[in-house]
Amino acid sequence: MMSGGNYTTIDNQNVSGSVPAVPDQGQMTVKFTDSNLQTFPPSGTQGKISGGSQPPRDADDTFSKPISGSDESTQQGGGGWLRTFAVSSYKQYFDVDTSDVLERIKDSLFPFRGTFNERTADTPDLYGPFWICTTLIFVAASIGTFVTYLAHKLQKKDWNYDINLVTWSAGLFYGYVTIVPLGLYVILKYFSVPSGLVQLLCLYGYSLFVFIPALCLSVVPLEIFRWVIAGVAGFMSATFVALNLRAHIKSAGERWFLIVASIFLLQLALAVILKLYLFTVTV
């Protein structure tokens, strides 16, 4: 060190003895205070819908087994109806494999089994119903457009594409698979019948799959054949829903038959509406 033009030598040993040594940077540990935020990703995340993780459901939902040993309200960021607005609450309903969806579609094509609710009691999904309705929208619009196109060309008349078929189909299928289960859920609650809204949405969504092949077969230009196809598809869909809900709705008392009959007739009405609107061509 230089001071006033003179050089002064400092003993390294004295400096090292009086100044504490800097610890090795590789061994430093920094400890933060615990945070109240949710850990991401969650440590208890389960893959595939058949895993141990269960989606939140109604407390009186007899379609599913109650969740035990877990604090759902804490994990989902709130309890009660606040979970309805959390995206994480719906994630588990879309975590399905192709084999799961195909198996449930197969059950919908065999309506007299009446075992769909038993198979999906613990793991209802919304993935299948969403894509079934979306597929129906485009199939109905495209098939209906093709039928009108053929009818006009056979009579050598001008043909214009009707974009309203797409919007009408979207409103019909999305509205039906949402409003009808929601209305049935409210009715069952009124009669003190325990029910799960997600299970009803799943059931009604898969019940519409039979209309996809029915709409494809309706391109055949025979009116009687189209009525037969619409009737068979409506009967299969109505039977699938009614039989899967019959045993459950019996707890409503003497009115259970009226509820099941209304469910059956409403599904038939959907088939009639599809036939009249999409395949009754006026030129």
120 falls within a domain: yes
6 falls within a domain: no
Which of 181, 188, 182, 240 minimizes the C-alpha distance to 61? 188
pLDDT, residue 248, reads: 77
pLDDT, tens digit, 9 for 90 and up, residues 103-153: 999 999 998 988 888 888 788 899 999 999 999 999 988 887 887 777 777
The whole-angstrom separation of Cα 195 and Cα 263 is 15
Query: What is the value of pTM for the model shown?
Result: 0.68
29 falls within a domain: no
When divided into structural domains, the chain yields a total of 1
pLDDT, tens digit, 9 for 90 and up, residues 224-236: 998 999 999 999 9
1 falls within a domain: no
Does the pLDDT value for residue 73 go beyond 70?
A: no
pLDDT, tens digit, 9 for 90 and up, residues 161-202: 777 788 888 999 999 999 999 999 998 888 877 778 889 999
Q: Binning pLDDT at 50, 70 and 90, where does residue 20 land?
A: low
19 falls within a domain: no
Amino acid present at 1: M
pLDDT, tens digit, 9 for 90 and up, residues 22-53: 555 555 554 544 444 444 344 444 445 444 44
47 falls within a domain: no
210 falls within a domain: yes
Which of 198, 167, 170 minimizes the C-alpha distance to 184? 198
Helix axes 98-108, 197-207, angle to 10 degrees: 70
74 falls within a domain: no
Residue-number span of the structural domain to which 213 is assigned? 98-278
DSSP string spanning the chain?
A: -EETTEE----HHHHHHHSPPPPPGGG----PPPP-SPPSS-TT---STTSS------TT-TTSPPP-S--HHHHTTSSGGGGGG-THHHHGGG---HHHHHHHHHHHT-GGG--HHHHTSS---SHHHHHHHHHHHHHHHHHHHHHHHHHHHHTT------THHHHHHHHHHHHHHHHHHHHHHHHHHHTT----HHHHHHHHHHHTTTHHHHHHHTTSS-HHHHHHHHHHHHHHHHHHHHHHHHHHHGGGGGGHHHHHHHHHHHHHHHHHHHHHHHS----
